[in-house]
Structure formats: structure tokens, C-alpha cells
Amino acid sequence: MVQSIGHKFKIGVFISGRGSNLKNLLDFSKKNRTNWKISLIISNKKNANGIKYAQKYKIPYKIFENKIQIFEKKSLIILKKKKINLIFLTGFMRILSKRFIKKLKIKILNIHPSLLPKYKGINTHERVIKNREKFTGCTVHYVTSKLDSGRIIIQKKLRIYKKDNPKTLSKKILLLEHQSYPEALQKICN
């Protein structure tokens, strides 16, 4: 359980690209009474589409297009300054170091488009179809320095039909992802 007494949990979101999970969380917190708010967005790509949501919703954001060590150093300073309680990775395409995770002392969550521990890494939908799996899904889990590992918080399952392909799976799983992150927050921010 994440601790934050007397005020909302402050969430930091790390992005690299599209940012649909970020947008979904921002929309969710506008429409619902939440005990958390997105207080900082960090991107490692200056042309990440998600930055436009930071601008639209007037959320402070930083772009650190550096090698991972410098990225982590700069992130650590701003995360501490903003007193962030929890970090969400949404399509963040870097592996954070053990040192950073240890120094940060707050929980980091990630969302992955497969039923972990199966299909870690990229091109999950292609591999799932190739292996003729009957089910796939998405997983919200705590982050460790090992790729797509760490304790599972929420997992949502989806049946794969004969007519499915990587594109249809990707669409359906994204909808599941958009339910999963708000649910995970509900679960851990009490």
C-alpha cells in the first residue's frame, strides 16, 4: 500500500510515445473523484505524442532525451522536488536501473500488453498469434530492474478468435489497459 496522508497521492508518469494510457488517466481523474492526481510527466522523447496531453491538461512536464544514467539523475531530482508518491510507466521504452529504483524509494508500476510472465518484451501480439495462444491480455505490475518482471497487481484476460490478428488484438488490449490502470490505482491508493 502507498502512503500519503492528508492530501492526494501525487503520480509521476513516464512516457516515450503515444500516451493513450496517460490521456485515459487524465480523463478519468477529471470525471471521477480520485484520491490521486497526475502531478508530473517525464518523457525521454521530445516528439512523444503524450506531451500534448501534458500541455492540454496543464500538467508540469520534463523532457530528458539523455542516456539512461543522466535521464535517471535528472528525473530523481525533479521527482523528489515535486514530492511524487508513485510512478507509472506507460509505454516507457527504457529499462530503469536497480540503483535508480533503490534511490527513489517509491513504487513504480508498469503496464504490459500480455499475460505476464508470458511474452515479456516487444511484439507481444505477433508472438501470441504465431504461437496460436487461446488467450491474451494485459498486466499491471510493480517494476524491478528486470524487464517486465515484478509482482502482478492486476491482470485482464481476453479470448483470441480465429479472425484475430496483431492489429485487432492490439486494439482490444488497449481498451483493457485503459480499464486496468485506474483500477490498479484504486487498489493501491487507499
Tell me whether residue 77 or residue 93 sits nearer to ligand GRF (CB atom): 93
Q: What's the sign of the alpha-carbon dihedral 131, 135, 136, 142?
A: negative
Q: Does 177 bind ligand GRF (CB under 6 A)?
A: yes
Choose, from 7, 112, 125, 178, the residue flagged as catalytic. Answer: 112
Q: Does 90 bind ligand GRF (CB under 6 A)?
A: yes
**Phi/psi at 7 (5° precision):** -150, 175
Residue 16's contacts (CB-CB under 8 Å, 6 or more residues apart) are 43, 44, 45, 48, 91, 92, 93, 94
Task: Report the C-alpha dihedral over residues 56, 60, 63, 68, rounded to 10 degrees.
Answer: -130
Tell me whether residue 4 or residue 28 sits nearer to ligand GRF (CB atom): 28
Q: Helix 166-188 vs helix 20-31: angle between axes, to the nearest 10 degrees?
A: 40
Residue ranges in 97-126 that form contacts with ligand GRF under rule CB under 6 A: 111-113
| Residue 112 designated active-site | yes
Give the integer Cα–Cα distance in Å for 157 and 38. 27
Give the integer Cα–Cα distance in Å for 22 and 125. 21
* Nearest distance from C-beta of residue 54 to ligand GRF, angstroms: 13
Provide the mask over 17-56, with x wherever binding to ligand GRF is found by CB under 6 A and - wherever it is not: xxxxx-----------------------------------
* Nearest distance from C-beta of residue 91 to ligand GRF, angstroms: 3
Residue nearest to ligand GRF (CB): 91
Tell me whether residue 77 or residue 95 sits nearer to ligand GRF (CB atom): 95
**3-state helix, strand and coil shares in percent for the chain, rounded to the nearest 5:** 35, 25, 40
Tell me whether residue 10 or residue 125 sits nearer to ligand GRF (CB atom): 125
Residues designated catalytic: 112
Q: Which residues bind ligand GRF (CB under 6 A)?
A: 17-21, 90-91, 111-113, 177
